[in-house]
A = this chain, B = another copy of it.
């Protein structure tokens, strides 16, 4: 699933917001929301596939970490939709 689609779900955006403060394990993330744990696992999987987070096992826990660069790239693509063909680099003329 691509980053835009991954970002379309409010819970997944909230997860990213939690993660910006530092890495967290699956249980902590799941506990912070109303959804069942397996549901959160699904969201985390989606985020991981989109490259927005990374996962790493640490003992019995699995630690999720925000991947800022993908998020920045995605934001840049949005800004490009506005500016890409309008202001450009001033290369023309």
Q: Which A residues lie at the B interface, using CB under 8 A?
A: 4-5, 7-8, 13, 16-17, 20-21, 66, 68, 71-72, 74-76, 78-79, 81-86
| Identical chains in the assembly | 2
User: Chain B residues with Cβ under 8 A from A84's Cβ?
Assistant: 17, 20
For the residues of A in contact with B, the DSSP-based class is helix
Known: A4-B4, A75-B75. 6 other contacts (CB 8 A): A4-B8, A8-B8, A17-B85, A72-B82, A74-B78, A78-B78
User: Chain B residues with Cβ under 8 A from A16's Cβ?
Assistant: 81
| Known interface pairs A71-B78, A75-B78, A81-B13; A86-B21 also in contact (CB < 8 Å) | yes
Can you give 26 contacting A-B residue pairs, CB < 8 Å? A4-B4, A4-B7, A4-B8, A4-B13, A7-B8, A7-B78, A8-B8, A16-B81, A17-B81, A17-B84, A17-B85, A20-B81, A20-B82, A20-B83, A20-B84, A21-B85, A21-B86, A68-B82, A71-B78, A71-B79, A71-B82, A72-B79, A74-B78, A75-B75, A75-B79, A78-B78
